[in-house]
Amino acid sequence: VYPDDRKEILAEALRSIREHRVFDCRFRNLDGRGKYIWIGIRASHKPLDEKTERFYASYYDVDQYVSERDELTAYGKRLDSILGSIPGGVAVFYEMNSEIRLAYSNAGFYSLHHGSREYWSKQSPNPVEWLAPEDRHLFWDEFRKASSGEKEQGNVVYRVIGEDGKLHWVANQFCRAGRVDGMQYYYASFTDMDDQITAEQEMQQNKLMYDDAAKSSKMIIWSYDPASKSAKMMQSGYTEEICRKLHVPPVIENVAETILPYVYPEDREAFRSSYRAMDEGAERAECEFRFQIPGQETQQRERMVMKRVTDKDGRLLNVFCFGQNITERKQKELDYEQTL
């Protein structure tokens, strides 16, 4: 018997006598080749006299079982070490009885869900229950697609109520990791989306306000590329609405010459000179001109402003342009002058 196991055999014998139960022990023993293997013993026993206990034992080979158990234990420790070293949040989970159960989760998983391990361990064992009620179906929709093979990877962004009682945004990507004893496991990674979602929401709010302001002031917006002489119209808000009504394409090639026929002859040089100035590197150019909208009898007055946008090193990024319909304002100015 392996020296370190000898005391445990004797201790188990004494315990089984004292507790009046079957002797049950596993230990390492030399085989005929001089190699230690694992053996199990189960033995009933009865006293022969006051100082002697006789054991009736059956031996069985548990070497493969113990070796596999030790390998799994070692693998589990290596896995914990690897996953625990990942800076983000990761988890391994499976589905059981229409609920999700965690098989493994690192510290980052809990912190990215804005709570400690201790806090979340006291909540529902089904982490889907941590999600805001109206977001839970988002996870299940993605899970059904990933589990059925419709998608290789599930992607879902949801809100979770953190330990601070506030709603937080979390992104979850998961895929099938393998099957053990008939159970399908999934590997998942998590990202804190609070800052990004907040920035996107603020950007969207700013865009709505910007679009509303542009519509109220009848302003269309585009960018101009001096190299290609093309204009790219803004694809949102008032600009998109006007372009759609006038059948203006998203990109206008050779924009100055393309628009020029609709500009009143008296104003064409001012219009053309603004584009020419930007082609020659001017920081800013502006003009007012009249033009005839195709299919309409009335003329429209427009104020156009063009501004060069550069990076910190002075390299051209874009030429930002906007045109404002000033027809009503000009008419009011004319009416006022006539009353004087």
Give the pLDDT score at 95. 92
Q: What is the pLDDT of residue 231?
A: 93
H/E run at residue 34: none
Provide the pLDDT for residue 39: 87
Q: What pLDDT was estimated at residue 223?
A: 92
The pLDDT of residue 246: 72
| Greatest pairwise CA separation for the chain in angstroms | 136
pLDDT of residue 59: 85
pLDDT at 316: 84
Question: Angle, to 10 degrees, between the axis of helix 237-246 and the axis of helix 194-216?
Answer: 50
Specify whether the CB–CB gap between 256 and 229 falls below 8 A: yes
Query: Position 310: which residue type?
Result: T
Distance CA 101, CA 119 (A): 17
Which pLDDT score, from 0 to 100, does residue 72 have?
A: 60
Distances from the Cα of 59 to the Cαs of 29, 39, 43, 63, in angstroms? 12, 7, 9, 12
Token pair recorded at residue 58: 């059956």
CA distances from 31 to 6, 37, 61 (A): 16, 7, 11
The confidence score (pLDDT) of residue 84 equals 56
Q: Which segments of the chain have a pLDDT < 70?
A: 65-66, 68-69, 71-88, 214, 294-297, 340
Residue-level pLDDT at 170? 94
Rounded to 5 degrees, φ, ψ at 133 are -50, -40
